[in-house]
Chain A
Amino acid sequence: MLLTIDNLSKTFPGTVALDSVRFDLKAGEVHALLGENGAGKSTLIKCLTGVHARDSGDVRLHGEPVSPGSTLEAQELGIGTVYQEVNLLPNLTVAENLTFGRQPTRFGMVSVRRMREDAKEMLAGFGLDHVNVSRELGAYSVAVQQLIAIARAVALSGKVLILDEPTASLDARETEMLFEVVRRLRERGLGIVFISHFLDQVFDLSDRLTVLRNGKHIVTAETAGMDRLGLIHHMLGHELDKAEDRRTTRSIRNERLHFKGLGRRGKIEPFDLTVREGEVIGLAGLLGSGRTETADILFGRTPADRGEATDPDGTIDLSNPRAAIASGFGYAPEDRKTDGIIADLSIRENIALALQARRGWAKPIPRGEQRALADDYIRRLDIRTSDAEKAVGDLSGGNQQKVVLARWLAMNPRFLILDEPTRGIDVGAHAEILKLISGLTDRGMSILMISSEFDELIAASDRVIVLRDRRHVSELVGDEIETSRIIAAIAAHDAEGAAL
């Protein structure tokens, strides 16, 4: 056995994050680590790699007890990790990030030329040939940064590679590229720990899997011998409430918003969009197809340079997010780590923040009301926390995302844009969130949802708009909304999606 963990326990104030957990890893296997948001997966990784001190437990590498006191020591033992949080430094160059701690030196001075060469070598096989390693990391997209973080961890992992939700910000092509790398490393005899909420990926990649629930070890088994429903049962402790396969089509209600010819040079071709009351519009397309750009324009994050937006009362100002918010728009962006939450503030404060900004600072929301609001969303979104006063930064990754969602839901906008609302959220909460979206539209909210998961789009949307090469190429309504049609529209080569 390459790595064995026994009886590992870790308590945070108010939370038992891990309770006598065991885990083992063989050389040459991919071992998936699964569980709901807040089950303790990331904590297990952090205790193993010296980020958190463990309360008790025994960790052995090749049978030798080890207890790294820091990430650095773990790296020296041959354990490379991609943590769930941001992993690299945007102010350093790509090459510095990649080689950090192992920069080639001559007479104590870093050799920049050799550092660049090393960095390029480390990136080989990740499809990142276009990346200039002398540029700052922060100049690149989240997906590219994530791949670079993985490349770094791969280079550091002599024996064990740990990937905590590495695919959350990657598209299908990038994910496949990553899996190729992982398979290669497996053949070379590395042990790989893989954490993900995408069960398809787990079945695709892993040899064995371990499920945690509420900080306890539930099961370890061969992936091949496990079926999907059984696995979900282990994770949730109960059956998954059967979500509707398709949203029941309802009577069309009043038209609410008209966007006519909105567009911006170099961002997105002009498009028309009519939004009805209580409607869910899905946006499908590959990463870079213009989905996020569409959302950014609708919310004024990058103002349109043509076209207009109107509602029955007249034109709507979408020149900046403040104006959009004032017109009753809301937007939960994709890059939640930087745009979404304030890690040091409590759940209550984070949820109340946006609402407060909208009411104006002169009319403070009474604390009791804030508290009730927070408790309500903690219950409705099943946010796993000891109480509403916990700092959001201390929540598990998935639960942080739920807080972001809660913030926007609490504002009760008339038009809410959700960019990948279920990224990093577990299967159980996933169904809950879709149900919640459905409930909101029943009360009249209109929603624009961007998602890479077709099942989710199909289950939630009344209409799906497909984007390709920064234009809206087709629209699917009612029974037309099915996976094969969406894929066909994305893949179609002729301009207007005539392949349909």
Chain B
Amino acid sequence: MNSRVLPLYATIAIFLVAYLICYLQFPAMLSTRVIGNLLTDNAYLGLVGVGMTVVILSGGIDLSVGSVIAFAGVFIAVMLRDTGLHPLAVFALLLAVTSAFGAAMGGLIHGLAMPPFIVTLAGMFLARGASYMLTIESVPIDHAFYDVLRSYYRMPGGGRLTLIGVTMLLAVVVGIILAHRTRFGTAVFAIGGGAQTARLMGVAVGRTTVLIYAFSGFMAGLSGIVFSIYTGSGYPLATVGTELTAIATVVIGGTILTGGSGYVFGTLVGVLTMGLIQTYIVFDGSLSSWWTKIVIGVLLLLFILLQKGLLILGQRQRSKMT
């Protein structure tokens, strides 16, 4: 069996076991209500996670996404307040801006051969600063269309399947196809496996790099839209540190931080695992929400150890075959 799938299986197994434990303690947790909320509450995280997965698969990193989400919220709120544009037009404008922003970062990374860490760190400050330029306080969004966007389908059992939850699931499907079933996706894996070799194989490294960060920018913008629907406002201080949470979900999802190996689906499971921990803490009522961070920290460590172990195992296996 392909040893690279193991982290994904481990993630899924951990999620199922965790869910089982939660269920045994609080049977109410196995309901469409909880599942619906899990999707809705973590939709914005899932969206940036998909973008981040593609970036990390290519061996890169995108630290700007948390700020871009905040920028998106503020941009939408201010535009809806100050102009007569329809929200859909504002969304289109926003997605164009964030995609172009990502593309520009990708261009710098490739063109100047700069580490993605530095370029996207600059992008993080830039996007955060830009949101402050638009406003320094929380701007509420009250537009009739937003009520439409908050519509949901009531599942049997009373759970709400919201539009934003479905958007996230759709984005995961698109991400899976993009990463695992297109030529672009293979190019992403190729660059993650070794940019120099990829170039010798005929990969258009520059173009692909630009597209990767543009995609991440697009997903961050989309995540911002979803977040604005979820919170009903735009706030320049929102989602500080979300980029790190997104990286954590990607790693917990079984993608290797150095690139070239991983699964978009794993990221979804990673996001749901995090959401599950939070839900458990809410159900318990006595635990501090900081426990989420502690559990995530432990999980992260566990996964890094798992990956290291698999790496050693893979090498053993290889030396056996030669």
Count, A-B residue pairs, CB within 8 A: 89
A342, chain B: closest CB distance, angstroms: 15
B residues 204-262 near A (Cβ < 8 Å) are 204, 260-261
| Chain A residues within an 8 Å CB radius of B199 | 51, 70-71
Once bound together, how far apart are the Cα atoms of A89 and B58, in whole Å? 13
Question: In this assembly, does A109 line the interface, its C-beta being within 8 Å of a C-beta of chain B?
Answer: yes
On whether the beta carbons of B177 and A141 are closer than 8 Å, the reply is: no
Once bound together, how far apart are the Cα atoms of A86 and B199, in whole Å? 12
Question: In this assembly, does B198 line the interface, its C-beta being within 8 Å of a C-beta of chain A?
Answer: yes
On whether the beta carbons of B186 and A51 are closer than 8 Å, the reply is: no
On whether the beta carbons of B261 and A91 are closer than 8 Å, the reply is: yes
Question: In this assembly, does B113 line the interface, its C-beta being within 8 Å of a C-beta of chain A?
Answer: no
Once bound together, how far apart are the Cα atoms of A75 and B204, in whole Å? 12
On whether the beta carbons of B201 and A110 are closer than 8 Å, the reply is: no
Contact of A109 among B177, B190, B198, B318 (CB under 8 A): B177
Contact of B203 among A100, A296, A302 (CB under 8 A): A100
Contact of B186 among A108, A110, A142 (CB under 8 A): A110
On whether the beta carbons of A70 and B197 are closer than 8 Å, the reply is: no
On whether the beta carbons of B201 and A89 are closer than 8 Å, the reply is: yes
> Residues of A within 8 Å of B, CB-based: how many?
37
A residues 100-114 near B (Cβ < 8 Å) are 100-101, 103, 105, 108-110, 112
| Chain B residues within an 8 Å CB radius of A302 | 319
| Chain A residues within an 8 Å CB radius of B60 | none
Q: What 1/0 flags go to A79-107 for Cβ under 8 Å of B?
A: 00101011111111000110011010100
On whether the beta carbons of B193 and A71 are closer than 8 Å, the reply is: no
> Closest B-chain residue to A81, C-beta based?
B200
Question: In this assembly, does B202 line the interface, its C-beta being within 8 Å of a C-beta of chain A?
Answer: yes
Q: Which of B4, B177, B192, B201 has the most CB of A within 10 A?
A: B201
Q: What 1/0 flags go to B78-98 for Cβ under 8 Å of A?
A: 000000000000000000000
> Closest B-chain residue to A108, C-beta based?
B182
B312, chain A: closest CB distance, angstroms: 13
On whether the beta carbons of B204 and A96 are closer than 8 Å, the reply is: no
> Closest B-chain residue to A105, C-beta based?
B183
Question: In this assembly, does B144 line the interface, its C-beta being within 8 Å of a C-beta of chain A?
Answer: no
On whether the beta carbons of B202 and A89 are closer than 8 Å, the reply is: no
Question: In this assembly, does B189 line the interface, its C-beta being within 8 Å of a C-beta of chain A?
Answer: yes
> Closest A-chain residue to B183, C-beta based?
A103
Question: In this assembly, does B148 line the interface, its C-beta being within 8 Å of a C-beta of chain A?
Answer: no
Question: In this assembly, does B286 line the interface, its C-beta being within 8 Å of a C-beta of chain A?
Answer: no
Once bound together, how far apart are the Cα atoms of A189 and B264, in whole Å? 45
If A51-B200, A85-B200, A92-B193 touch, whether A141 touches B321 (CB-CB below 8 Å) is: yes
A428, chain B: closest CB distance, angstroms: 28
On whether the beta carbons of B321 and A139 are closer than 8 Å, the reply is: yes
| Chain A residues within an 8 Å CB radius of B4 | 91, 136
Question: In this assembly, does B158 line the interface, its C-beta being within 8 Å of a C-beta of chain A?
Answer: no
A170, chain B: closest CB distance, angstroms: 14
Once bound together, how far apart are the Cα atoms of A112 and B183, in whole Å? 11
On whether the beta carbons of A91 and B260 are closer than 8 Å, the reply is: yes
Question: In this assembly, does B317 line the interface, its C-beta being within 8 Å of a C-beta of chain A?
Answer: yes
On whether the beta carbons of B202 and A75 are closer than 8 Å, the reply is: yes
Q: What 1/0 flags go to A170-202 for Cβ under 8 Å of B?
A: 000000000000000000000000000000000
| Chain A residues within an 8 Å CB radius of B261 | 91
Once bound together, how far apart are the Cα atoms of A112 and B180, in whole Å? 10
Q: What 1/0 flags go to A128-164 for Cβ under 8 Å of B?
A: 0000000110111110000000000000000000000
Contact of A89 among B182, B183, B193, B322 (CB under 8 A): B193
Once bound together, how far apart are the Cα atoms of A139 and B3, in whole Å? 10
Question: In this assembly, does A72 line the interface, its C-beta being within 8 Å of a C-beta of chain B?
Answer: yes
A190, chain B: closest CB distance, angstroms: 19
B residues 271-312 near A (Cβ < 8 Å) are none
Q: Which of B185, B200, B203, B319 has the most CB of A within 10 A?
A: B200
A79, chain B: closest CB distance, angstroms: 11
| Chain B residues within an 8 Å CB radius of A88 | 197, 201
| Chain A residues within an 8 Å CB radius of B200 | 51, 71, 81, 83, 85, 87
B residues 155-207 near A (Cβ < 8 Å) are 177, 181-183, 185-186, 189-190, 192-194, 196-204
If A75-B202, A87-B200, A136-B2 touch, whether A96 touches B318 (CB-CB below 8 Å) is: no
On whether the beta carbons of A92 and B321 are closer than 8 Å, the reply is: no
Q: What 1/0 flags go to A451-466 for Cβ under 8 Å of B?
A: 0000000000000000
Q: What 1/0 flags go to B92-128 for Cβ under 8 Å of A?
A: 0000000000000000000000000000000000000
If A96-B186, A139-B321, A140-B321 touch, whether A101 touches B203 (CB-CB below 8 Å) is: yes
| Chain B residues within an 8 Å CB radius of A90 | 193
On whether the beta carbons of B202 and A101 are closer than 8 Å, the reply is: yes
Q: What 1/0 flags go to A56-87 for Cβ under 8 Å of B?
A: 00000000000000111011000001010111
User: What are 12 contact pairs spanning A and B, CB under 8 A?
Assistant: A86-B194, A87-B200, A89-B193, A91-B260, A100-B186, A100-B190, A100-B201, A100-B203, A101-B203, A108-B182, A138-B314, A292-B322
Closest 9 CB pairs of A and B: A89-B193, A141-B322, A72-B202, A91-B260, A91-B193, A71-B202, A109-B181, A75-B202, A101-B202
User: Apart from A88-B197, A112-B181, what 15 extra A-B contacts exist at CB < 8 Å?
Assistant: A51-B199, A70-B199, A70-B202, A86-B194, A91-B4, A91-B192, A100-B186, A100-B190, A101-B183, A105-B182, A110-B181, A139-B318, A140-B321, A141-B321, A302-B319
Instruction: Name B residues whose Cβ lies closer than 8 Å to a Cβ of A.
Output: 2, 4, 177, 181-183, 185-186, 189-190, 192-194, 196-204, 260-261, 314, 317-322
